[in-house]
Amino acid sequence: MTDTTPTPPTTPSLPTVPPPDVIRCAYAELIVTDLAAARAFYVDVLGLVVTHEDDHALYLRAFEEYLHHSLIVRVGAVPALSVLAYRVRSEAELDVAEAYYRQLGVRVERRPAGATRGIGAAVRVEDPLGFPIEFFYTAEHTERFTQRYDMHPAGALARLDHFNVNTPDVPAARRYYEGLGFRVSEDIVDGDGTVYAAWLFRKPTVHDIALTGGDGPRLHHIAFAAQERHQILHVCDHLGALRQSDVIERGPGRHGVSNAFYLYLRDPDGHRIEIYTHDYYTGDPDNPVIHWDVHDNQRRDWWGNPVVPSWYTEASDVLDLDGRVQKVVPRTDSNEMDVTVGADGFSYAREGDTSTGFKLGTQI
Ligand code: 4SX
Ligand code: FE2
């Protein structure tokens, strides 16, 4: 008998070989169209330390960082993300990464030491979500300026904290990242099972990567941690004094998710940068996952301030490994902005106001 039953579509299975041991998010490279304008923002306003600069690029780090850079800003034809890099535990993990992604069936490239200034041998992939991702261990060390208070500006940034990306299918992206050894700290869901966003970590903080439901692959933002809330407030004052308050997109405020104090800025090319401080430790194996109802009006801003529409809709294009802009796939699940903002959306602050019976800030 001939079996005519069609094979149901399956999500690609995870590799049988182990994933590379990722330590943390380590650096990003952004393409900008005007390097002088980018320098005025990243160096003169944000106060990042210049490790190296030439006519094509700035290699920047924050005050606690001793690796060569945590951000490269490179001039190019169109504003885009060109790579998100994770640091792995040793050089041997590069072979592990290569084998893992070869089994996943995505594009994989080995890069010799020095292909990126300051970075040793590396593996670059186009991940299943469509992002250009690098894994490296070896990197050039520079002086760590933790106690060079004579050099710290009033808004000194301490270190890179996380990446946040738009991806259409958050549950699928979460499965992929969990396969890579990341753990979820928090998510935003609704009573019908739609997942709007998820936060995952390797280092023991709330996240190294946030997955935000939306048309993707696109970069939503990269975030730097400051030590203190007043440093974030100073950046706002600094921008006001420069008559550049329009660079401030959202905040300052206190996030619900993560509990961090935050500010979102837009660089001259529209790339979104977050400054972030005071999230919490997540390193124990039984760290509780916090689920937020999408209708909880304090989930994204603990004080209930509205999220501006641009924060939901705008994001940076990403490049493939050949430097071409990746095609964006639309999200088909409902969008958070549509269910929470404006005439059709609803949200609440008090527990009794929820129509879903959702328990606020449920922990499992
Ligand atoms: O807006 S959220 O409170 O959900 C949020 C956004 C929490 C932490 C983040 O880093 C972020 O970008
Ligand atoms: Fe963030």
Ligand 1, atom nearest to 161 Cα: 10
Name every protein residue with a CB atom under 6 angstroms from any ligand 1 atom: 164, 210, 223, 255-258, 260, 274, 276, 299-300
Closest by CA position to 125, among listed 32, 199, 217, 52: 217
CA of 65 to the centre of ligand 1 (A): 23
Q: According to CATH, what is the number of the domain 157-363? A: 3.10.180.10
Tally of CA atoms within 13 A in the half-sphere of 179 that contains its CB: 19
Ligand 1, atom nearest to 274 Cα: 12
Which one of 2.40.160.10, 3.90.1150.10, 3.10.180.10, 3.65.10.10 gives the CATH number of domain 22-136?
3.10.180.10
CA of 186 to the centre of ligand 1 (A): 10
Ligand 1, atom nearest to 260 Cα: 8
CA of 171 to the centre of ligand 1 (A): 18
CB 136 within 8 A of CB 122: yes
Q: What is the per-residue DSSP string for 204-267?
A: SSS-SEEEEESSBSEEEEEEEEES-HHHHHHHHHHHHHTT-GGGEEEEEEE-STT--EEEEEE-
CA of 131 to the centre of ligand 1 (A): 20
Nearest CA owner, ligand 1 atom 1: 300
Q: What is the pLDDT along the chain (364 residues), one digit of tens a residue?
A: 445 555 544 456 899 999 999 999 999 999 999 999 999 999 999 999 999 999 999 999 999 999 999 999 999 999 999 999 999 999 999 999 999 999 999 999 999 999 999 999 999 999 999 999 999 999 999 999 999 999 999 999 999 999 999 999 999 999 999 999 999 999 999 999 999 999 999 999 999 999 999 999 999 999 999 999 999 999 999 999 999 999 999 999 999 999 999 999 999 999 999 999 999 999 999 999 999 999 999 999 999 999 999 999 999 999 999 999 999 999 999 999 999 988 788 888 887 676 566 666 665 4
CA of 222 to the centre of ligand 2 (A): 7
Taking the domains of the chain in order of start, what are their residue ranges?
22-136, 157-363
Ligand 1, atom nearest to 264 Cα: 12
* 274-to-41, 46, 96, 103, 283 alpha-carbon distances in Å: 13, 11, 32, 35, 23
Gap between the Cα atoms of 320 and 124, Å rounded = 10
CB 94 within 8 A of CB 232: no
Which residue is associated with the tokens 């705008």?
314
Q: Do domains 22-136 and 157-363 have the same CATH topology?
A: yes
Gap between the Cα atoms of 209 and 15, Å rounded = 21
